[in-house]
Amino acid sequence: MPGKINHNDTLSQSRKTHIVSGVKQASYDKAASSVAAKTCSMLAHFWREIQGFNDWENLVEPLHPLLRQEIIRYGELVTACYKAFDLDPVSKRFLNCKYGKNSMMREVGLQDSGYQVTKYIYATPDININIPIQNVASSSSSCSRWIGYVAVSSDESVKRLGRRDVVVSFRGTVTNPEWIANFMSSLTPARLDPNNPRPDVKVESGFLSLYTSDESDKFGLGSCREQLLSEVSRLLNKYKGEELSITLAGHSMGSSLALLLAYDIAELGLNKTQSQIPVTVFSYGGPRVGNSGFKARCDELGVKVLRIVNINDPITKLPGVLLNENFRVLELGGRFEFPWSCSCYAHVGVELVLDFFNVQNPSCVHDLESYINLLKSPKINQQDHGDGADDDDNFFNKAREFMLSRAQNFKMMPWKNAAGNMASLVQSLRT
């Protein structure tokens, strides 16, 4: 049983949403460095609470320095995916990682991360929709592309972390077919457990397709799912007998894959050894993944999810702009659940809300580095938002503005065509 982390200040017992606000991105000062040093020594003793053992009770409001540190650390492991992904169409490594497994962490500036990359993960979107998409080359839409990596903590870092940590890190949406997969907004039964299909557990079809598509078999890789389950199982078996944790982190589309993998691991019981290995998802700017049945099953299995969300980020409101967890039940002299409740999308886990926006660069609202830099800022405010805090009358205009500006302002990824296509799709959701 983990111990209890105490804040320096008295903690509020309420479960209000926590909001970090600010526009300028501040770097760590000497005081922050001192806090980091102290929290680092605490992690080995309190890692289970940081991984969500108690659903982050009293750690989100106010945001505990140790949890803040870990959110940043896992976020940087996801950022590594973007830095290492090759988007140069003339490169021989196009749509793959620029570096080998042994050098990747060093090349992206994370040589002191304490993790060793053990496997690269590839996926191929299985896209089959009748919507004309501009400039989507058949070669790029059908080929397998690098989606992330599996890593494990080193012997030295085990002492600092308090356990052997198996990490899977996923990048977000980059290519046109991936954007299309993001917006294939229909629910379909997950059916990941062959012994119990659970037809009431439904997930977004585009994410499931990316996760399970066997198109990668053409390249001798197996599906994204097969690659992941095989490597995670191998590492769990290799380090059996040790204190272990499974941490899945992703941004945007990557957070959806992280949650699907977490559910898959728990549903198949891969984390059940002599003691249950905790499975935790750190989601950055992630959309909804499944329906209320999926959420309930994740909760039942003990999958812990911490969603880091910018309140101005339209991607976090998709899919299920209208039919979501806020539109399932009517409280009218009693509790009435609508017949379509099983078709409503629902977020999973605990939410940590950030609040940032740049008028000159609206695309920053979904940028992972903006998320991380704000978390590094010492400026923190607490606000209480009701159930309708996510409502936005200008949501579709914001989404379109975000996507189009993203194509012009985000230097890392040439998204102009993809963003234009997806902006049109978002606009069409009105009808």
Residues with a catalytic annotation lie at 252, 313, 366
Chain centroid offset of residue 257 CA: 7
Q: Is 228 exposed, middle or buried (0-12, 13-18, 19+ CB in 10 A)?
A: buried
Q: From CA 414, how far away is CA 84, in angstroms rounded?
A: 15
Tokens of 235: 């590492």
Q: First-to-last CA distance in the chain?
A: 52
Token pair belonging to 100: 């080998």
Q: Do residues 325 and 292 lie in contact, with contact meaning Cβ atoms separated by under 8 Å?
A: yes
SS3 of the chain: helix, strand, coil, percent, to 5: 40, 20, 40
Distance from C-alpha of 369 to C-alpha of 81, rounded to nearest angstrom: 12
Contacts of residue 111, Cβ cutoff 8 Å, sequence gap at least 6: 105
Q: DSSP letters along 123-136, please?
A: E----------TT-
Distance CA 262, CA 255 (A): 10
What are residue 245's DSSP bridge partners?
165
- Dihedrals φ, ψ of 277, to 5°? -80, 125
**3-class DSSP state for residue 93?**
coil
Q: What is d(CA 9, CA 18) in angstroms, rounded to the nearest whole number? A: 16
Residue pair 174/186 in contact by the 8 Å Cβ criterion: no
Question: The tokens 């020594």 sit on which residue?
Answer: 41
Instruction: Say if residue 418 is exposed, middle or buried (CB neighbours under 10 Å; 0-12, 13-18, 19+).
Output: buried
Contact 44, 392 (CB under 8 A): no
